[in-house]
Every structure is written in structure tokens, then in C-alpha cells.
Structure 1
Amino acid sequence: MSPVVTPLTRRRLDKAQEALAARDIRLGEVIARVGPCTMLPRREGTHFGHLVRNIIHQQLSTGAAATIHGRFVALIGGERDAPDPAAILALPEEALRACGLSMAKTRAIRDLALHVVDGRLPMHALDTMTDDEVIQALVPVRGIGPWTAQMFLMFRLGRPDVLPVLDLGVRKGAQRMYRTRALPDAARLEKLARNWRPWASVASWYCWRALELDDATSTSPRALRAARRVP
């Protein structure tokens, strides 16, 4: 049996911030300027509902995705964040397309529902799987690649040590943080992230936030010292 991974909590986030700031002065500067990490896992609804919502939101603006998701929920019925996979499979593709879903997303959602109904994707067991096991369970589903699986690990299961090496935002944030000339590729990012373990998810979150900072803002030595003793 795989060891149970403790998800991120407010207390564990505080511990992660303190450890990361103590190990890495550049990351510590970003932590001092951004403030506390807010990446607590989203536990409303079901794992299935979370994945469906992620598929709907892919490559859409927040407003457009919310409208389509609302139509989808109204069509399927039941709880907003806990749609029934069997109910989805009982509907023709045309009904789902009428919600505003593309053909690709319609087929992805139906394939996800089919994987759950026939048992190939054991949703009830995902919390007890290792990160690699979760990824291996999710990527056979149409429309779910390694990046989507990693986002599920980070934002749904609250796994603390996920490093999405192909995420453009994380790569750009790392480039800005470490002032590298070239955008780090996967191998380079792995090297830059050696000090991030076992809190790579939290460090990745700060890479995203680093892109929102104004470079003209300076950080005082006092602020850097404060970052090392977060909370």
C-alpha cells in the first residue's frame, strides 16, 4: 500500500514558506513581497466534479467558462460540484454540445465519466495514491495530460512537492526570480528547484506570483529576514 501523503494545511504552508525562505535568498525575496501562500486544496464537491470543471475551463476566459459550466450543471442536475458520471453518459453528445462545449471537451468529459463508471479510474482511491500513481491513473483519460494531472495534485489533493516543469508560468517566474537569460527548460528548472524540495508546489505557486510583482519595488533586508521566519 502506498504511504498516505499529508495534504497542505495552513500550518504546513507556514512551515514551507519558512523553510524555502531560509534555503533560497531569491525565493525568500519573493515570499517577503508576495506574503503568505494561499494554495489550500479546494475540497468542495467531488474529485470527478473538479476534473470536469477543469476540462470546461481549459483555454477559456473565466467568464465564458463559468457560463458554460452553469449550463452544464443545469443540464446534468444534482449538486453543482458533484455531477453524476452515469447521468452524463446517458445524454447524447449533442445535448452537451448545446451547453457551449466544444466537440473535444464533450468527448473528454464523456471519456472521464466512462473511466469512472467502468472502474478504470478509481476516484475513491486517489487520495491514498502517490503523486506518480495519480498521474498514471489520470493521463489515459482524453483531455487530461500531465499538466492537468499535476494541477489536480496541487490544487485538489494539496500535494506539497509537485514541480510542473513544463508550466510556462512557473518557468517564466523562475527565470525572473533567478535572472536567467534563457527561459529554463525542464532539466534546468529541476536544477533550480533542488532547494525547493519537499515543498516544490509552494515554490511553484510563488513563481506564478513573481510574475505579478513590480520589479521596481525593492525589498529591504528586514523584509528578507521576516520571510525566513514566516508565518
Structure 2
Amino acid sequence: MNPPDTTDCHHEAARFLAALDDDWAALVATVGPCLHAPKPAREPWQALLRAVAYQQLSVRAGDTMIARFLALYGAADFPMPEQVCATSPDALRGCGFSGRKADTIRGIAEAARSGVVPTLEQAREMDDDALIARLTALHGIGRWTVEMMLIYTLGRNDLLPADDLGVREGYRRLRRLDRPPTPRQMTELALPWSPHRTAASWYLWRVPR
């Protein structure tokens, strides 16, 4: 299966969301076209590692840690899983990763080496629920981390990470609510946005403050 071509889908998603109601129409008009850009060349294990690196950090801090991580191997591209497995926890912590993140990163690499984490080609043939079930069984990998991989690596067009604070806070501002919805409420609220929930997430991350 080839990587999805999302250009037409994003145009259709913007039109679909703008037609939902006045709030969505105003948001789409303010933000402009959906520019969501997956990275379909990344292997799933690489995407999971990146997602772990950025957990609870600013983009700038995450970028710095990834740059230090790549520098360990003397290359601008990702090392092989075997190389990461052979890297000591102390070396990973020297990049800025916490002890927990270092253990999780080594676990991801080992799972990629053993085939638990599928290759990109294999992952494209699996549905979202199957991937989430398999990958959240790994130590330190939660649903949000897998959802980021599904959105940004596999280019899935109908996925909303209901646990994501940015999505929930964006919805609060969109609707001018006192508090953001719970993850369960967010899942239910997003049902009418199918089959364009990924684009909806992208717009909610960009609701003006």
C-alpha cells in the first residue's frame, strides 16, 4: 500500500468542518487551509521514539534532545534499532532523556528489532485499533504516543487524540466554555466530525488564544 495522498482530503476536510456551524466556519476562515503534513518516510519505531522524546516538553527542548541523540551515532539520520539497543542508559540520559524515557527508548528499539513494532509497510496494512493494542503493550507507550504515530507517520485521516490537552483546550476556546471536555466527552463530541477528525485535531491545536 502506498503512502496516502492527503492533499485533496485536507481540502475536503476544511470544507466539511467549515460547514458544521458558525464556530467552525470562523475557525477555518481564521486559520486558513489545513496544512497537516505527515512524514510517511519514517519507520513506526522512529516515530514512537520521537513522540516519547517530546512528551511533556516544548518543541524546542524536544528538538535539542533528538539532535543530541542523533549525534551519538554520528549521523543526521536515525540509527538502526540494534545500535540503540547497544547504547547505554547513561549515554541516553546524557542527551537529556529522563531515566524512564531512556528505558522506553531502548524498549522501543528492542521491540523494533524483534518485530513487535511493525515496519512501515506492515503498519500501513493494519487498522488503528490493532496498532494501538499492539504498541500500547510496550512499557512506557500510551495511547497518545501511538496516535501521534498514526497521524504523523501513517497519515491516518480520521483520528482524534481525545486525551490530548491541546485538542481539548482548543475545543474549550472554540466553544467559549469554562473548562475543557473530558477525554470521554471529547470522543463523543468528535463523532460528527468523522471522517475528518485528524483535520479537526489540526484546527483545534490552532484555535486562537
TM above 0.5, yes or no, is yes
Alignment map for 1:57-68 (pairs within 5 Å): 57-68=54-65
Range with greater deviation from structure 2 (97-106 or 197-206):
97-106
Contact persistence 1:76–1:88 (CA under 8 A): no
- Which residue in 2 is equivalent to 1:95? 91
Residue aligning to 1:24:
21
1:206-217 superposed matches below 5 A: 206-210=203-207, 212-213=208-209
1:73 paired with 2:70, answer: yes
Q: Which residue of 2 aligns with 1:39?
A: 36
- Distance in 2 between residues matched to 1:74 and 1:199, nearest whole Å: 38
Which whole-Å CA distance do the structure 2 matches of 1:83 and 1:195 have between them? 41
Q: What percent identity do the matched residue pairs reach? A: 38
- The alpha carbon displacement at 1:51 in A equals 2.1
Instruction: Give the distance between the partners of 1:92 and 1:51, measured in 2 at CA.
Output: 19
Paired position in structure 2 for 1:119: 115
Q: Counterpart amino acid of 1:171?
A: R
Q: Is the partner of 1:126 in helix, strand or coil?
A: helix
- From the CA coordinates, give the structure whose radius of gyration is larger: 1
Structure 1 Cα separation of the partners of residues 132 and 191 of structure 2? 22
**1:52/1:77 CA distance change after superposition, 3 Å:** farther
Asked if residue 165 in structure 1 is aligned to residue 162 in structure 2, the reply is: yes
Equivalence for 2:82: 86
Question: What is the aligned partner in structure 2 of residue 12 from structure 1?
Answer: 9
Check the 8 A contact 1:78/1:84 in 2, yes or no: no
Secondary structure class of the residue paired with 1:76: coil
Cα distance, 1:18 vs structure 2: 0.9
Query: Does the Cα contact within 8 Å between 1:8 and 1:160 map onto a contact in 2?
Result: no
1:106 paired to 2:94? no
CA displacement at 1:68 relative to structure 2: 2.3
Deviations 1:127-170 (A, max 9, x none): 11111112112212222200111111112211111121121111
Equivalent-residue separation in structure 1 for 2:93 and 2:50 (angstroms) = 15
* Change in 2 beyond 3 A, CA 1:62/1:11: same
Structure scoring higher RCO (CA < 8 A, sep ≥ 6) equals 1
Q: Following the alignment from structure 2 to structure 1, what is the Cα–Cα distance between the partners of residues 191 and 75?
A: 45
Q: How many aligned residue pairs are there? A: 208
Separation in structure 2 between the aligned mates of residue 9 and residue 130 of structure 1, nearest angstrom: 18
Provide the C-alpha distance between the structure 1 equivalents of 2:20 and 2:34, rounded to a whole number of angstroms. 17
What is the CA–CA distance in structure 2 between the aligned matches of 1:198 and 1:141, rounded to whole Å? 29
The CA deviation at 1:78 is 4.3
CA distance 1:63–1:191, change in 2 (3 Å):
closer
Tell me how large the CA RMSD over aligned residues is. Answer: 2.1
Give 3-state SS (helix, strand or coil) of 2:155's partner. coil
Equivalent position of 1:135 in the other structure: 132
| Consecutive unaligned residues in structure 2, runs of 5 or more | none
State the SS of the aligned residue for 1:180.
coil
